[in-house]
Amino acid sequence: MSDKHAEVAGGGFAGLTAGIALARAGWSVRLHEQNDELRDFGAGILLWRNAMLALEVIGVAPAIRAHGVVPDVYATSLNGEMFTPELAGYPYWAITRPKLHELLSDAARAAGVDIRTGSKAVGADPSGALLLADGTRLEADLVIGADGAGSAVRNSLPTLTQERKKYQDGVCRVLVARPEEFAGPEWNRVIDYWTLEPDAMRILFITTGPDTIYMGMMATTSNERASRIPIDPEIWSARFPHLAPVIELAGRATGGRHDAYQTNRVTPWAAGRAVVVGDAAHAMCPALGQGASVGIVNAVELAHTLGQYESVDEGLAAWEAKQRAMTDAAQARSAYMAETRTLAKGNGFTPEVMETANFVLDAATPETIA
């Protein structure tokens, strides 16, 4: 057990996971979320085997299994033709983002993480301090920037270099109540509906259980009407007439959002006792549905690796050395798939691509892998 103290900036999936993992290893942890409430927006998320193993290590996986679902099939439909490849050996869970966030927040509180909402970080001092917008300086053995793709903590550390890239597509993400027409078991699936002419428009239909459906509605960002929140039902129903009932609901959904695909690659991830995790370190294109999963894996492995070293600096270096190749590969593959829109052809989840989903973190024990 450790007697060290961590200050964490950011109460998203990565920050909460890092907080839980450190607190369970005996650290005292204070977590700062700039918003007045801890929450995530209304959409859904896939959690692959890599993330479920990490969540098993921190005791959250049983709650995910209780509140999420395993979709029956991952089907792809291009211009009406349906492909249903086997994803044997790669179980993944679908859950709503607000529920995942609530489960992680509950686990963080239960682990003793001191959560401060309405607390905004402006930077970190590599000698071991988190700097807040109100001028407070909080000393710590470890400072974690889990403050998302626009990370203020990262931007305050001049030795962390960042490559950013924007891509052609963007996604409107909404959660809708599951209507009567989509109640049957044939809809307990992920179905990735594509059209590429006259321009790419796609609806990723994901069951998140008996009550809700997550819809990821992708289009080129230059297609202004298809990049709008609230959803414009007319433009979407013209392209996907058989989905009109859920598109109508998507048009009335609240709490959705639009994001353009973008990535940032940060090198290195640490400066002294300050480190970035999650999207602050490695935002990726969503094509593999792995952005949060990789952040969760890296956050759990961070706490595990620090437990093996007396010095925080050495632990951080060892952690990055272990996690870097997997993370870089996930970013590169998801960027390639987003750029080429490979998923439209179906069977996109090749064994090579699924390497990320199959990554087994060192913190996993034989019991958690079983």
Q: CB of residue 286 vs ligand FAD: minimum separation in angstroms?
A: 3
Q: How far apart are CA 239 and CA 236, in angstroms?
A: 5
DSSP state of 308: T
Nearer to ligand 5PR, 74 or 269 (CB): 74
Q: How far apart are CA 21 and CA 302, in angstroms?
A: 8
Binding site for ligand FAD (CB under 6 A): 9-15, 32-35, 45-46, 120-121, 146-148, 152, 171, 173, 216, 259, 278-279, 286, 289-293, 295
DSSP state of 133: T
Name the E strands within 58-200: 74-78, 81-83, 93-96, 114-117, 121-125, 129-132, 137-139, 142-145, 161-177, 190-195
Nearer to ligand 5PR, 27 or 205 (CB): 205
Q: Which residues contact 24 (CB under 8 A, 6 or more apart)?
A: 58, 59, 111, 303
Which of the choices ligand FAD, ligand 5PR, none does residue 126 contact, using the CB cut-off of 5 to 8 A by kind?
A: none
Nearer to ligand 5PR, 157 or 337 (CB): 337
Write the interaction track for ligand 5PR spanning residues 158-187; mark x where CB under 6 A is met and - where it is not: -------------x-x--------------
Q: How far apart are CA 46 and CA 70, in angstroms?
A: 9
Binding of ligand 5PR by 287 (CB under 6 A): yes
Binding of ligand 5PR by 216 (CB under 6 A): yes
Q: CB of residue 173 vs ligand 5PR: minimum separation in angstroms?
A: 6
Residue 314 CA, chain-centre distance (Å), reads: 27
Cβ atoms of 124 and 143 within 8 Å: the answer is yes
Q: CB of residue 260 vs ligand FAD: minimum separation in angstroms?
A: 9
Q: Which residues contact 268 (CB under 8 A, 6 or more apart)?
A: 159, 160, 320
Q: CB of residue 335 vs ligand FAD: minimum separation in angstroms?
A: 13
Which of the choices ligand 5PR, ligand FAD, none does residue 266 contact, using the CB cut-off of 5 to 8 A by kind?
A: none
Number of residues that make up the chain: 370
Strands 44-47 and 93-96: antiparallel
Angle at CA 98, nearest 5°, toward 94 and 99? 60
Q: CB of residue 145 vs ligand FAD: minimum separation in angstroms?
A: 8
Which of the choices ligand FAD, ligand 5PR, none does residue 12 contact, using the CB cut-off of 5 to 8 A by kind?
A: ligand FAD
Nearer to ligand 5PR, 250 or 343 (CB): 343
Q: List Cα–Cα distances, 158 to 99, 117, 137, 162, 277, in angstroms.
A: 36, 27, 19, 10, 17
Stretch that binds ligand 5PR, among 56-64, 69-77, 281-289, 307-315 (CB under 6 A): 281-289
Q: Which of 14, 46, 60, 247 binds ligand 5PR (CB under 6 A)?
A: 46
Nearer to ligand FAD, 34 or 237 (CB): 34
Q: Which of 57, 60, 25 is nearest to 365 (CA)?
A: 57
Q: Angle, to 10 degrees, between the axis of helix 97-110 and the axis of helix 13-24?
A: 30
Which of the choices ligand 5PR, ligand FAD, none does residue 42 contact, using the CB cut-off of 5 to 8 A by kind?
A: none
Binding of ligand 5PR by 286 (CB under 6 A): yes
Q: Which residue is nearest to ligand 5PR (CB)?
A: 216
Q: CB of residue 197 vs ligand 5PR: minimum separation in angstroms?
A: 19
Q: Which residues bind ligand 5PR (CB under 6 A)?
A: 46, 171, 173, 204, 216, 218, 286-287, 289, 343
